[in-house]
Structure 1
């Protein structure tokens, strides 16, 4: 289901399906290193539980029954495959390259996150766990995990920064309606980094009861690889759909937003061997270039250790993870998935940024030209597509991973933009 269209045999396991990278230099090691990045840098209390997760995941990804159940849920619950849509009016407004949208916003729960949370709850059940625990920023991972846990009969606990609880109240309600326990984290910056810290602390106390279901391609091994494998369906579908709809040609560029980086790795993985396809990750430029005003880890961070992985990290003067800002709650993280750092240094993926203002403009333009209200996270990628399209010209094509829908963002956006007063009829 996930393999390249050139492959003749259908995969029977996740290991076969997610093996989309043919270039040996771009593959991770068996212990989860992407070049100098990744691995597992953990205290003793977490080292053994993560080794158990890595062993269980390796067994699961080789198991045809596990893969059959996962793909059944992708079809029957998520609604895959999602469409690849030519955004005709958005293309006209941008001028230049054709812009295509990979419609992950149409997934059950409204974002790409459901792709990996279903895999995580199946793994938790296989391991005999009672509860899945996780962090969430924008709430999309939390909603997806709560839905998946309810589906298979597991308890669910979600830790969320107090700032994000206020910004993303509709998703807090959704999580609670789906049966999840939501914990508001009020210390520090009270955003995504603090939510991760809080959830990891609980997991370290009760590893026999919980599985930590990380929400992106971050954290200790095996999670950067695990989440990437479950998200690989996005790019695999996109590649097949584009080839079929465009006379066997591939897009000029594939663009996705990057915070931790799960939707981007999902979109990019199937194209990593295609040297003629530009892969562009878009970070949150926020409201300025000073520390605390943005979350541009790739361009302004330095090598360090965060949440059990060696990666690139934004740090303050004391060497601690810095406060970060993004208009999109799902992107305000001071680190990034280790594979992204590796791919940047290998020269395979370009990383740029979009600020809050350009993101809001993109959010509104897609809403008004295509009838789609996109997530603020996805709107970062759309902003870069709008910038790039005129430069590439009309013979080029851009695929944007529309990673989620913006229902969760409308109250927040309404406070940031001027909306017309409703017409009064008497």
Structure 2
């Protein structure tokens, strides 16, 4: 049970909160039609998390230690959750508790926020509620993934697009996202005469956004910021591109303000694509990922620039035997998303009538059906677009029968445990406790609780 006292909260029965109350609180935080109840529920979850030692934190100090080579031999998984967010998060926390894992990140991309209908405050609430439910304690890392400039929108209205991205950064930090991946690699122009000019817009806007993030940080928190030098799905990155970006970025950031903390990691392209490449029968094409390039990029990022290393995107659909290569190559972080979505849709317990209803919606949606490219089979089309079902059917997903959600959660828990072991973050709780000093940010009472 929880009650408000002197502008804060006090938990008088942890077991009652976890076993009886939190399910209802998080449902209200996501779906209640009354905005005052929704805001109060989110406030309650955030401050209850603080009281229970579940504190939204920046992973910055760990990544700085990795940049100094104080810690190595593991790769931090960054997990995007597109649907069933509360249940999927619970499965992650169960796998983490079982294996003493502390080095893992929850994240959501700008594009995902749109098609999954999950604004930052809601996403934060769902993950914190799951941690409370499962009795997890410790720093919690929530990340804005691909906070990206859309090249077409930028070309149409530069200032509007920049302000949109800044607005999202402000919203995310206020919600407790203390890790943000800037993606201005969409502005790289390979037609320019040299690497510096090719990367110029990329590093200039990355520096501008970094400075903006620094101006928004709560007291005592240094947001971990990432940059990106190559769009996933495009040509592979090179060491020369990394240096061109980093040299230009550091120079530009220094002009924004002396002593501003820069990025802690750098996303690169080494052969993957987001979601994988579906074949006509709906299976995924095998990807040839260039681990040697990844190794060299991570080494230069650490040795020459003090970063934690390189970041690999689009990795969840890789074959199982690929994952242990990430720690071997010194990859700092790996981003994982689509496979978890696939496991939900393709679970043997997922209701087929519900799946058909979603697929019919996607096939008839005027904007989504435009994604059906000439020559694509139905299986290829649905594989590529079914991520768009999570937003319109969000409450239906959350309201699936408990036995269905339980079984899917158990299947995902096995997957997360496998990934934690392959990425060598087992027993990383001790490293997190040594490197991360959580800073509680107490939210002011919402107006209805004032």
TM-score grouping bracket, smaller chain normalisation: under 0.3
Which one has a larger percent strand, Structure 1 or Structure 2? 1
Task: Tell me the TM-score normalized by structure 1.
Answer: 0.26
Which one has the largest radius of gyration?
Answer: 2
Task: Tell me the TM-score normalized by structure 2.
Answer: 0.25
- Higher RCO, 1 or 2 (CA under 8 Å, sep at least 6)? 2
